[in-house]
């Protein structure tokens, strides 16, 4: 039997799991099932009390934990070392992560240490006992897909983009068994030290439950005020497409997309935005997308499907 498929995570958990891990666990469970092996969750650093129960509900058999002062916050050198030691002990069939800024920093370096492959922008993983691992990834900003067939041997490290799968829990599963993984990080010295944290003013677009974004169809910088007003009226935040940033109309912190912010709101309103794949990469995990566009054939309408969205329980300014 193959060794376990391991989903790895760290950082702030909402509802027991950090953002996107429910999707990665769903993909990992199906892959582990095809191999006839177990699904494990590896949590690095602090863990919420409810995590073992939530992990169990996604089919996790064992929850491995690395808890050490050196991984109390995200530190790339310590995380790579911890994961390299863990993989040396467990030899996972594959190590799966949710793609974000931090996992991007870790994945390639870890794969180098394991002498294996790192695959970014993953959307699916398939294989079977004795068959090669096949990872499907999004390419060219989401315009196409590529399938990698990975060589046998070293553990591959695969990062999955937001919305790669619809999260699916399993019925009646108990809490995952928690097992401490022993690693020695005493000799790790971070090579890059953060001397000043990046300034973040106000709430982050990535955390917004409602986003109203404007695009080139607004026609002028002045019209962006309409976006700000609508966002405020709905109790949300204003966003934009890249041309508005390129033209100096809006600050880059508001840009949604491949080279901007990756958001997951309940409601995303796109006004005067065509729906280019590079823009959609930053909002296609929204529960509901509403498009305002005078071109009925605009690509955005392929995404602006009917969906269910519940008004969050907070008051909107009148």
Least spacing, CB of residue 297 vs ligand FAD, in Å: 9
Contact between 52 and ligand FAD (CB under 6 A)? no
Please work out the total of residues on this chain that contact ligand FAD, with binding judged by CB under 6 A.
Answer: 25
- DSSP collapsed to 3 states, the chain: CCCCEEEEEECCCECCECCCHHHHHHHHHHHHHHHCCCEEEEEECCCCCCHHHHHHHCCCCEEEEECCHHHCCCCHHHHHHHHHHHHHHHCCCEEEEECCHHHHHHHHHHHHHHCCCEEEEEEEEECCCCCCEEEEEEEHHHCEEEEEEECCCCCCEEEECCCCCCCCCCCCCCCCEEEECCCCCCCCCCCCCCCCCCCCCCCCHHHCCEEEEECHHHCCHHHHHHHHHHHHHCCCEEEECHHHHHCCCCCHHHEECCCCECCCCCEEEEECCCCCHHHHCCCCCCCEEEEECCCCCCCHHHHCCCCCCCCCCCCCCC
Segment interacting with ligand FAD, rule: CB under 6 A, options 15-23, 51-59, 93-101, 294-302: 294-302
Least spacing, CB of residue 222 vs ligand FAD, in Å: 14
CB nearer to ligand FAD: give 52 or 257. Answer: 257
End-to-end CA distance of the chain: 61
* Residue from 274, 283, 289, 304 binding ligand FAD (CB under 6 A): 274
Contact between 295 and ligand FAD (CB under 6 A)? yes
Q: How far is CA 140 from the centre of its chain?
A: 18
CB nearer to ligand FAD: give 80 or 280. Answer: 280
Least spacing, CB of residue 116 vs ligand FAD, in Å: 28
Contact between 142 and ligand FAD (CB under 6 A)? no
Segment interacting with ligand FAD, rule: CB under 6 A, options 79-87, 148-156, 169-177, 256-264: 256-264
Q: Are strands 118-126 and 133-139 parallel, antiparallel or unpaired?
A: antiparallel
Contact between 6 and ligand FAD (CB under 6 A)? no
| Residues 234-253, interacting with ligand FAD (CB under 6 A) | 241-243
Segment interacting with ligand FAD, rule: CB under 6 A, options 45-53, 88-96, 215-223, 302-310: 215-223
Segment interacting with ligand FAD, rule: CB under 6 A, options 13-21, 43-51, 56-64, 290-298: 290-298
CB nearer to ligand FAD: give 124 or 292. Answer: 292
* Residue from 259, 287, 288, 290 binding ligand FAD (CB under 6 A): 259
Q: What gap in Å lies between CA 118 and CA 23, rounded to an integer?
A: 19
Contact between 276 and ligand FAD (CB under 6 A)? yes
CB nearer to ligand FAD: give 21 or 227. Answer: 227
* Residue from 85, 292, 301, 303 binding ligand FAD (CB under 6 A): 292
Q: What gap in Å lies between CA 216 and CA 279, rounded to an integer?
A: 12
Contact between 216 and ligand FAD (CB under 6 A)? yes
CB nearer to ligand FAD: give 92 or 282. Answer: 282
Classified as helix, coil or strand, 240 is strand
Q: How many CB atoms lie within 10 A of CB 196?
A: 5
Contact between 99 and ligand FAD (CB under 6 A)? no
Contact between 294 and ligand FAD (CB under 6 A)? yes
Q: Which residues bind ligand FAD (CB under 6 A)?
A: 141, 215-217, 241-243, 255-260, 272-274, 276, 278-279, 282, 292-295, 298
């Amino acid at each position: 039997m193959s060794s376990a498929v391991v989903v790895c995570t760290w950082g702030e958990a909402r509802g027991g799991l950090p953002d996107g891990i429910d999707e990665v666990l769903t993909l990992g469970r199906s892959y582990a099932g095809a191999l006839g092996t177990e699904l494990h969750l590896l949590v690095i650093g602090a863990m919420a009390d409810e995590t073992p129960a939530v992990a169990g509900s996604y089919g996790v058999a064992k929850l491995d934990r690395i808890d050490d002062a050196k991984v109390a916050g995200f530190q790339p050198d310590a995380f790579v070392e911890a994961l390299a030691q863990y993989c040396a002990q467990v030899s996972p069939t594959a190590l799966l992560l949710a793609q974000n800024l931090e996992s991007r920093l870790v994945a390639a370096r870890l794969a180098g240490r394991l002498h294996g492959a790192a695959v970014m922008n993953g959307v699916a993983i398939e294989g079977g006992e004795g068959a090669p691992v096949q990872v499907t990834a999004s390419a060219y900003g989401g315009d196409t897909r590529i399938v990698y067939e990975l060589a046998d041997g070293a553990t591959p490290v695969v990062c999955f983009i937001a919305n790669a799968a619809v999260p699916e829990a399993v019925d009646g599963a108990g809490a995952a068994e928690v097992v401490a993984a022993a690693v020695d990080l005493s000799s790790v010295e971070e090579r890059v030290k953060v001397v000043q944290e990046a300034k973040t003013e106000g709430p982050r677009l990535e955390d917004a439950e409602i986003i109203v974004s404007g695009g080139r169809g607004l026609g002028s910088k002045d019209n962006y005020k309409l976006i700000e007003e609508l966002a405020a009226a709905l109790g949300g935040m204003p966003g934009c497409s890249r041309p508005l940033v390129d033209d100096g109309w809006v600050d880059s912190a508001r840009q949604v997309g491949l080279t901007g912010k990756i958001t997951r709101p309940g409601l995303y309103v796109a006004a005067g935005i065509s729906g280019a794949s590079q823009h959609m990469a930053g909002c296609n995990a929204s529960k509901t997308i509403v498009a305002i566009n005078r071109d009925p054939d605009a690509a955005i309408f392929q995404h602006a499907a009917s969906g269910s969205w519940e008004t969050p329980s907070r008051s909107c300014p009148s």
